[in-house]
Copies of this chain bind each other. A is one copy, B any other.
Amino acid sequence: MALKMKRTVYLKKKTLAEARTIVSTKLAHLIHLGTETIPVIHSLGRVTAEPIFAKISSPSFHCAAMDGIAVKAESTYGVTEESPKSLLINKEAFFVNTGNPIPQGMDAVIMIEDVHLVDSQLAEIRNAAYPWQHVRAIGEDMIATEMVFPENHKITAYDLGALLACGHQEVKVKRKPRVLIIPTGSELVEPEQTNLNQFNSRSGTIPSGIIESNSYVLSGLIWEDGGDPIRHPIVEDDPFKIKETILSNYAGVDLILIIAGSSAGSEDYTRSIIEESGEVFVHGISMMPGKPTLIGRFKDRPVIGIPGYPVSAIISYETLVRPILYQSLHLTRTERPKIKVIPTRKIPSKLGTEEFLRVKVGKVGEKFFATPLPRGSGVITSLTKADGIIRIPALSEGLDENEEIEIELLKPVEEIFNTVVLAGSHDLSLDILANLLGRFYPPIYFSSHPVGSLGGILAIKNGICHMAGVHLLDPETGEYNFPYIRNYLKGIDLKVIHLVYREQGLIVQKQNPKKIKRLEDLLRKDITFINRQKGSGTRILLDHTLKTLSLDSTQIQGYENEEYTHMALASGIASGRADVGLGILPAAQAMNLDFIPVAKERYDLVIPSIYFEDEKIRKVLEAIRSDDFKETVQRMGGYDISRTGEELFNCGIRNVDCGTEK
């Protein structure tokens, strides 16, 4: 691929507010949806194109509101318990069931419970009826010719009933906005062209190519927003092909989204194509993610250039495309529910840029806490895992910890109420636990924050998690976890629940090509190490062991490369970035790597006692103690589940039985 060095430069960047005004004033009016007439029974969620008037009244005749006899009220005047009256059936009284027409001349219904059948000819009543008693009069619900719905009304499931009942079988609605999605990029491959059988899934690598998924995410969002997504196959980075694609498709659609190519790189052709055949209103928006967004028109069709990174694409869609769709359908855009949260740490943000920060939200005690997820715009899981989005204004330099701030919720608040928050070290058995918790009903959700064992201990201290996952070796005593609890969590009434014993060891390439055998090998010049972050149990274990063996960590190549999870560490080795790292067996197995055992360690959950009153914490205990959990963990290998679920005691904490191991 030849590199062309001419490059576009951003126009003067616009703020998001400016860009939205441009979208609303210069783009939305280019869309003329037109109308279509469809069966009422298929009109759920569609928008009326004209006011709807009742064709017939509902009910369309006087009808019985109860099962009973229809009578003329006048003929019952004076009737009482003491002076009952017999009415001639089919002359003075007519049997009717709910919904039946009231026979000519009758104007009231007496409930069947209040009728005594003397014989097949006579019905005795003991109470007078008043006119229109238990009768649904014509038009009680809707009167023929009255306006039932205005135009621009979104049809609900309830509305289907009203439309049918007042005589409509068809309804004229706005055509759905047709949105053409053109994914561009020579580096992209269609999902179905990714032949996963050709490579070893355990190695986690495929030869090359980025799977094109943005167009499907946008299709889903467009569909949810009432539009009609039309996905075009991938177009390579070739201005002629991109332009040809637009030219041969633009006439049949209402809005064009071009994914990627709106940045300022050498292969970003969207701007010049739009300038040639239309107008560019905005190129570059001071928001993050989503900066390389372009707004323009191609001839008379609105165009949005959507950034290629998945999170940017979504933010760009939600802030700019969604409003156009709502405006074209003439619907009020609703905001996401909001709650106040407290950030668990200080979050700096770039001045002059509006940031959409994805966060996990946990309710611990009475407060909602927000923990930032990775901010990279390439990390789609920062959105799929997110519970909410904090919008940091352009004029803010970020958020202080403990400073309450509003977030937009991405998930129902009910799910957050039912979420158990764990901070600390990550272990693969926690994924199994999370899955089991989801099987309870109502489901319990599990939110795990990989901040390392010491981070977990501090999170307990700060009251921002329900439990901490820790495997902290005390170098002085060789004892696990309790020394740290004694040191950092003095005065907090808590319980320690044992989760698993697991093996830590050196994770190396398959077949161990560099013949690494023990920790001493880490100092070899031909070996690159990959480390875990400071404060993690694994790092403490490493540093302790190095010290015991009098090995100098500064001599280890790559000692400063830190990863936050076992899996990330294993992945670094699988990809060839490093030769070796310290981690757990299941991570090595998952990535098809070799493993050299170093130590067996105890992984416990530290849980403040107050949370044991909480139903969802009790369910966590129930799940951990289930055979299902233990068996699944054991099948993974590298675990000892012989004491899983036991409460451990330590004399420093409680003056009861000492369960501490020596």
Contacts and interface: CB of A to CB of B under 8 A. Distances in A.
A425 interface: no
A137 B415 CA distance: 33
A220 B61 CA distance: 27
Contacts of A469: none
A201 interface: yes
Contacts of A58: 211, 380
Interface stretch (A160-168, A495-503, A622-630): A160-168
A478 interface: no
Contacts of A57: 204-205, 571, 575
A623 to B, nearest CB: 12
Interface string A52-63: 001111111111
Contacts of A147: 431, 434-435
Contacts of A249: none
A188 B223 contact: no
Interface of A: 1, 3, 5, 7, 28, 40-41, 44, 51, 54-63, 65-67, 95, 97-101, 112, 117, 132, 136-153, 156-165, 167, 169, 185-188, 191-192, 194, 196, 199, 201-208, 210-214, 216-221, 223-224, 237, 263, 265-267, 308, 310, 314, 327, 330-335, 337, 376, 378-381, 383-384, 412-415, 418, 431, 434-435, 438-439, 441-443, 567-568, 570-572, 574-575, 577, 590-591
A137 B575 CA distance: 9
Which 4 A-B pairs rank lowest in CB-CB distance, beginning with the nearest? A144-B204, A157-B220, A99-B187, A67-B265
B378 A141 contact: yes
Contact of A330 (B7, B188, B265, B443): B443
Given A143-B567, A144-B201, A145-B204, A384 B159 contact: yes
Contacts of A112: 7, 265-266
Contacts of A136: 376, 378
A145 to B, nearest CB: 4
B205 A380 contact: no
Contacts of A219: 41, 157
A162 B148 CA distance: 44
Contact of A438 (B55, B145, B153, B314): B153
A447 to B, nearest CB: 12
Contacts of A145: 202, 204, 567, 590-591
A145 B566 CA distance: 12
Given A161-B380, A380-B162, A51 B431 contact: yes
A412 B334 CA distance: 6
19 contacts: A3-B95, A56-B205, A60-B204, A99-B210, A99-B308, A136-B376, A138-B575, A138-B577, A139-B571, A140-B379, A141-B379, A143-B571, A144-B571, A147-B434, A157-B223, A160-B217, A161-B217, A161-B380, A164-B211
Nearest to A382: B141
Contacts of A41: 191, 216, 219
Contacts of A568: 139, 143
B205 A414 contact: no
A330 B327 CA distance: 35
A147 B380 CA distance: 14
Given A160-B213, A267-B97, A439 B151 contact: yes
B139 A217 contact: no
A389 B590 CA distance: 52
Contact of A165 (B1, B62, B211, B435): B211
A442 B61 CA distance: 40
A201 B378 CA distance: 60
Given A141-B381, A145-B204, A334-B412, A152 B439 contact: yes
B161 A310 contact: yes
A421 to B, nearest CB: 16
A307 B384 CA distance: 41
B211 A330 contact: no
Contact of A148 (B196, B381, B575): B381
B438 A139 contact: no
A82 to B, nearest CB: 25
Given A51-B435, A56-B199, A139-B567, 20 more contacts: A3-B95, A56-B196, A59-B210, A97-B266, A136-B376, A137-B575, A143-B570, A144-B201, A145-B591, A146-B431, A147-B431, A151-B435, A157-B219, A157-B223, A157-B224, A161-B217, A165-B310, A167-B196, A332-B414, A334-B412
B101 A213 contact: no
Contacts of A156: 220, 384
A485 to B, nearest CB: 29
Contacts of A161: 213-214, 216-217, 310, 314, 380, 384
A277 to B, nearest CB: 24
B412 A332 contact: yes
A290 to B, nearest CB: 15
Given A196-B167, A384-B159, A414-B334, A205 B138 contact: yes
A211 B167 contact: yes
